[in-house]
Amino acid sequence: MQSNAHQQTLRGLYPPIEPYETGFLKVSEVHTIYWETSGNAAGKPVVYLHGGPGGGTSGDDRRFFDPSVYRIVLLDQRGSGKSTPLACLEENDTWSLVSDVDKLRKHLNIDKWLVFGGSWGSTLALSYAQKHPENVKGLILRGIFLLRHAELQWFYQEGASNIFPDIWESYLEPIPESERGDLIAAYYRRLTGTNEEEQMRCAKAWSKWECATSKLYIDPEHIKKAEDDKWAAAFARIECHYFINKGFFDSDGYLLQHVDKIKHLPCVIVQGRYDVVCPARSAWDLKKQWPEAEFHMVPDAGHSAKEKSITARLVEAADKFREL
C-alpha cells in the first residue's frame, strides 16, 4: 500500500502526559529494568519497545497512543535508560529481553497486549511475538530491522557511506586503516576495552553516525544526543554487542523464517522509503513473507519515528487498534 500521508493533514502525537505509576523490576541477578504506565489504568494494554538496542525510552514515546483508551507501558531494556546497571553487557541478549517483556506483562497482571516497536524495537517485537504469540493482540512495527548480515554490512561497513560520505568520515576516524575491513569488530574491541578515553570517543562516533543519518533531513538537535556520555556509552556498547553476536539468532534471517507463528495476528508495518539505517528492503521482505500485514511505504521519510509522515502513520495505526 502506498502512503499518501504527504497529501493529507498529518496526524501529530497526542499531548504530553506523565506516568501514573513507575517501578523497577529485578529480572536477573545482574539487571533491574525501569518500567512505567500512563494513560487509562483500566484501558487496553500496549507495550512500547524502544530502539537501539540501548536507546532507552523518552516521554514522547507515550504520545503515539490515545491516553483515554490505552494503558501505555514503557520499559527501558537491560542496560538502557533508567535500568541498571547502565551499559552492562553481561546477561544482555535478545532472548533475555524477550523474557523480561513477558515478566513485566505478568508483573502488571496483563493477559494480552498490543506490541509496538520500531527499528531494533521491531526486531524485539517480532522476537517476542514469535516466542509468545498467545500473549500478543497485534503488532505495530516501524523501520524494520531483521538483524541480518547484509543489513549490518550496509549500515556499518559499506553501503550507507555512499549516501553520507561526509558523516562517514567521522565514523571511520577512530579506527586505524588496518582494521577497517571489519568495523563492527574494531569498534567492539574499543567499546569493551579498558581505555576509558578511547571507549568514550568510539561510543560518541558510533552514536553520532546513527543519529546523523536517521532522518531524511539531518537534524542537528538529534545529533546532540550522541554527545551525552551516558547515553552514548549505553547505545554504542549494547548495539555493538548485539551486532557482533548476530542478534543471538540461530540463523541469518531467523525472524523471516518464523513468521508463520504470528501470521494470524493483525499487524501494521510502517517504513520510510529513504530509511538509510534500516533500508526498505527488510520491510519489503517481511511484507512478502506476511502478505496479510497492512503495509505503508512512506514516500517522504527516512528512519525516525519523529518524522512527521511516519508519526502520522504510527498514530493512525494505534488509533485503528483501539477497536482491537
Catalytic (active-site) positions: 119, 275, 303
22 forms beta bridges with 36
43: cell is: 484501558
Bridge partners of 73, per DSSP, are 37, 47
Q: Per-residue DSSP letters for 89-126?
A: -TT--HHHHHHHHHHHHHHTT-S-EEEEEETHHHHHHH
CA 250/CA 241 separation, integer angstroms = 16
Indicate the DSSP class of residue 21. E
Residue 220: is the preceding peptide bond cis (ω within 30°)? no
How many C-beta atoms surround the C-beta of residue 192 within 10 A? 13
Gap between the Cα atoms of 136 and 46, Å rounded: 10
- What does the block give as the cell for 41? 489504568
H/E segment holding residue 48:
strand 44-49
Whole-angstrom Cα distance, residue 68 to residue 42? 10
